């Protein structure tokens, strides 16, 4: 029997992983205790998505387990043992704003929880492929010191810095920078995942996501910017832009495209390799540009205001250079651009509401 374990299976990337893998594995084991509701409130609960997975896939088995609970977590690994071929670890505290409120909660979930997953993989299924969803926040605010120019609706890299014309690659330093508490906990997990790959010779891939997005994102003000933006466009709820004139740029990768990266890595794994994984030059936008597209798709004028204070550790301009992954896995390519993703979100949200 071939088993895949997916943590955070009710979330955006976790549930997309289940959807993607359901016809490729004998059994998909989901681990999710709906901490997203604790972080961001009832409206951000992922229980609806877990129920969907249980209804749609007969080979999906759910475990309501906190990844910090070593005893219960290891019991799952012991149950399936060497049948486990793939672990996709997406469970996390995902907001750099929220992390400052409860640093112990943030760190124990992101760092200790990841260590638990890595160690139980090493002990019970060391030949399995382990995929860790990291974040571009591991680079802290180092990207903000790149030479940028202000355009009409966005910030952009200066032409004099041609090295970054495709975006930021994996050579960007993780040091001497402000990360946010969240960024620091993800650095710890990121480096530990790499170390298990390199030190123990395990098949570990680290994917440093830009803005991960898709139609089933339970977006909240503190996390899931495109999803929450479209939600506000539909409902008329107020949206606040924080700093940088609303010209801050993010690259946005559809959850399908990211999970497809995982799939390519699984078929030809490496030991402790780290990849930037965002929308790159294919799919990116500023806040101003995103609002314009949401208004176009929804047909509604958005209710928003501007706050001069930017979020601590926030990026002014971040576009992922995914060239390293494309060189290692030339068969992978993007499927969803920004407009297609937002249109899909609009349709899905209209169905749910």
pLDDT tops 90 at residue 96:
no
pLDDT tops 80 at residue 223:
no
Residue-range domain boundaries for the chain? 3-352
pLDDT tops 70 at residue 353:
no
Residue 348: band (very low, low, confident or very high) from pLDDT cuts 50, 70, 90: confident
Among candidates 8, 5, 64, which has minimal Cα distance to 216?
A: 8
The partner residues of 29 in beta bridges, in order of sequence, read: 5, 61
pLDDT given for residue 219 in this prediction: 59
The C-alpha atoms of residue 170 and residue 58 are separated, in whole angstroms, by: 39
pLDDT tops 90 at residue 247:
yes
pLDDT given for residue 45 in this prediction: 92
| Fold adopted by 3-352 | Rossmann fold (3.40.50)
Is the Cβ–Cβ distance between 345 and 226 less than 8 Å? Answer: yes
pLDDT tops 80 at residue 54:
yes
pLDDT tops 90 at residue 215:
no
Residue 44: band (very low, low, confident or very high) from pLDDT cuts 50, 70, 90: confident
Residue 4: band (very low, low, confident or very high) from pLDDT cuts 50, 70, 90: very high
The C-alpha atoms of residue 49 and residue 304 are separated, in whole angstroms, by: 29
pLDDT given for residue 11 in this prediction: 93
Residue 224: band (very low, low, confident or very high) from pLDDT cuts 50, 70, 90: low
pLDDT tops 90 at residue 270:
yes
Report phi then psi at 30, rounded to 5: -95, 140
User: Percent of the chain beyond pLDDT 70?
Assistant: 97
Give the model confidence (pLDDT) of 15-42 as tens digits: 999 999 999 999 999 999 999 999 989 8
pLDDT given for residue 291 in this prediction: 95
The C-alpha atoms of residue 224 and residue 290 are separated, in whole angstroms, by: 13
> Under 8 Å CB-to-CB from 169, ≥6 apart: which residues?
276, 321, 323, 324
Segment 323-350 mean pLDDT: 94
The partner residues of 148 in beta bridges, in order of sequence, read: 157
Give the model confidence (pLDDT) of 130-143 as tens digits: 999 999 999 999 99
pLDDT tops 80 at residue 57:
yes
pLDDT tops 60 at residue 222:
no
pLDDT given for residue 172 in this prediction: 97
CA dihedral 50, 51, 55, 57 (to 10 degrees): 10
pLDDT tops 70 at residue 276:
yes
Among candidates 14, 201, 212, 193, which has minimal Cα distance to 115?
A: 193
The C-alpha atoms of residue 241 and residue 291 are separated, in whole angstroms, by: 10
The C-alpha atoms of residue 174 and residue 187 are separated, in whole angstroms, by: 8
User: Percent of the chain beyond pLDDT 90?
Assistant: 85
Among candidates 211, 287, 237, 182, which has minimal Cα distance to 12?
A: 211
pLDDT tops 80 at residue 313:
no
pLDDT tops 70 at residue 218:
no
DSSP summary character for residue 83:
G
Question: What average pLDDT does the structure give for the chain?
Answer: 94
Helix (H, G, I), strand (E, B) or coil at 317: strand
pLDDT given for residue 217 in this prediction: 67
The C-alpha atoms of residue 14 and residue 8 are separated, in whole angstroms, by: 5
The partner residues of 60 in beta bridges, in order of sequence, read: 28
Give me 319's structure tokens.
């576009």
> Under 8 Å CB-to-CB from 101, ≥6 apart: which residues?
none
Q: Lowest-confidence range among 119-128, 200-209, 217-226, 272-281?
A: 217-226
């Amino acid at each position: 029997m071939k088993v895949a374990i997916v943590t955070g299976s009710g979330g955006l990337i976790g549930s997309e992983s289940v959807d993607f893998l359901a016809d490729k594995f004998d059994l998909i084991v989901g681990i999710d205790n709906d901490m997203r509701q604790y972080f961001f409130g009832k409206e951000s609960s992922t229980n609806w998505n877990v129920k969907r997975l249980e209804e749609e896939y007969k080979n999906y088995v759910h475990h309501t387990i906190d990844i910090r609970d070593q005893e219960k977590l290891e019991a799952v690994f012991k149950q399936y043992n060497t049948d486990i071929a793939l672990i996709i670890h997406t469970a996390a505290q995902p907001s750099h704003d929220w992390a400052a409120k409860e640093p112990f909660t943030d760190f124990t979930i992101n760092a200790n929880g990841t260590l638990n997953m890595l160690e139980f993989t090493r002990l019970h299924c060391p030949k399995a492929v382990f995929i860790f969803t990291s974040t571009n926040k591991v680079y802290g605010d180092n990207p903000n010191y790149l030479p940028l120019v202000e355009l009409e609706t966005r910030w952009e890299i200066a032409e004099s810095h041609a090295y970054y014309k495709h975006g930021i690659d994996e050579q960007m330093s993780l040091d001497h920078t402000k990360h946010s508490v969240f960024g620091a906990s993800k650095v710890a997990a990121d480096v530990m995942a790499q170390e298990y790959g390199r030190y123990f010779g395990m098949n570990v891939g680290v994917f440093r996501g830009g803005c991960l997005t898709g139609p089933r994102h339970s977006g909240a003000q503190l996390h899931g910017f495109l999803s929450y933006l479209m939600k506000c466009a539909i409902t008329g709820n107020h949206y606040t832009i924080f700093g940088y004139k609303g010209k801050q740029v993010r690259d946005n990768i559809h959850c399908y495209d990211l999970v497809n990266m995982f799939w390519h890595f699984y078929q030809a794994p490496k030991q402790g390799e780290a990849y930037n994984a965002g929308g790159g030059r294919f799919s990116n936008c500023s806040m101003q540009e995103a609002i314009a597209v949401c208004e176009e798709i929804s047909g509604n004028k958005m209710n928003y205001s501007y706050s001069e204070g930017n979020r601590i550790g926030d990026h002014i301009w971040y576009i992922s250079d995914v060239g390293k992954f494309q060189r290692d896995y030339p068969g992978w390519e993007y499927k969803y651009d920004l407009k297609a993703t937002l249109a899909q979100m609009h349709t899905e949200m209209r169905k749910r509401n």
